[in-house]
Amino acid sequence: MDYSEWEPRYLRIVDEFKFSVQEDEKAARVLHRLCRGKRICAPECLRRRIGKEVTILGDGPGLEKELLRAELRGTVIAADGATSKIMHCRGRAPDIIVTDLDGDVADQLAASAQGAVVVVLAHGDNIEHLERYVPWFSGLLTPTTQSRPFEGIYNFGGFTDGDRAVMLARHFGAENIWLLGFDLERPRPKGGRDPEVKRRKLRLSREFIWGINPPGVRLHPADYSDG
């Protein structure tokens, strides 16, 4: 998704959650500075890595069970904390990680060292995490923002790590996307987080994954009906 399409959605998010565009832009500048001297995976680099078939791992409570029985098709993209689950359950790193660095960053650093491309999001609430962790990534990085992009900082659309992973795959031409750990009705609880805010975020995530899915892209969700 180009920024011209994403901007009205972003401004709606800013209004609903009372975010600061200025702080998001500040975070993007911080990330840009931290990425100097790093190995950058720019859009053409991502295009070579994201195929027509993609499996995306969300960090929902059903992910571990799905990883034990599911086939991982094509390019494997993990949303933040799902990185730890695939490494522990399947003994491998994902091909790409989409993260704002609020999961187990130690596992993300390990996956980076094993060859995973890390698509890092800068936003107004994670500047401290950016400064703490970005210098330690040894592999390829793709620096991103949810506000207006500029040279060296990209925006492919999306709000939460999960829907940003889906929008990333669609942006680079994925045609079949298998979703594991995307139980948006029963999110994995996180300590200190307001559950009502989480529900509102997941409502938007559902919209960005399903509501604006373009023709020609098939989404294949896992079945959670058996609990």
Q: What is the pLDDT of residues 208-217, one digit of tens each?
A: 999 999 999 9
Confidence of residue 199 (pLDDT cuts 50, 70, 90): confident
Structure tokens that stand for 15 in this block: 């209004």
Which among 80, 87, 73 has a CA at the least distance from the CA of 187? Answer: 80
- At 225 the pLDDT is 46
Higher pLDDT, 142 or 69: 142
Structure tokens that stand for 110 in this block: 């390990």
Would you say residue 45 lies in a domain? yes
Higher pLDDT, 177 or 196: 177
Would you say residue 226 lies in a domain? no
Confidence of residue 112 (pLDDT cuts 50, 70, 90): very high
Confidence of residue 198 (pLDDT cuts 50, 70, 90): confident
Residue 81 domain boundaries: 3-221
Would you say residue 125 lies in a domain? yes
Q: Which residues contact 12 (CB under 8 A, 6 or more apart)?
A: none
- Read off the CATH number of the domain in which 174 is found: 3.90.1480
CB 201 within 8 A of CB 160: yes
Rounded CA separation 141/151 (Å):
15
- At 63 the pLDDT is 94
**What three-state secondary structure class fits 18?**
coil
Give the mean model confidence (pLDDT) for residues 187-201. 73
Query: Strand (E) positions, 125-221?
Result: 141-145, 176-180, 218-221
Would you say residue 227 lies in a domain? no
Would you say residue 122 lies in a domain? yes
Q: Classify residue 134 by its DSSP letter.
A: G
User: Whole-model pTM?
Assistant: 0.94
Would you say residue 155 lies in a domain? yes
- The total of structural domains in the chain comes to 1
Q: Could you give the percent of the chain with pLDDT greater than 70?
A: 94
Angle between helices 105-113 and 82-90 (to 10 degrees): 60
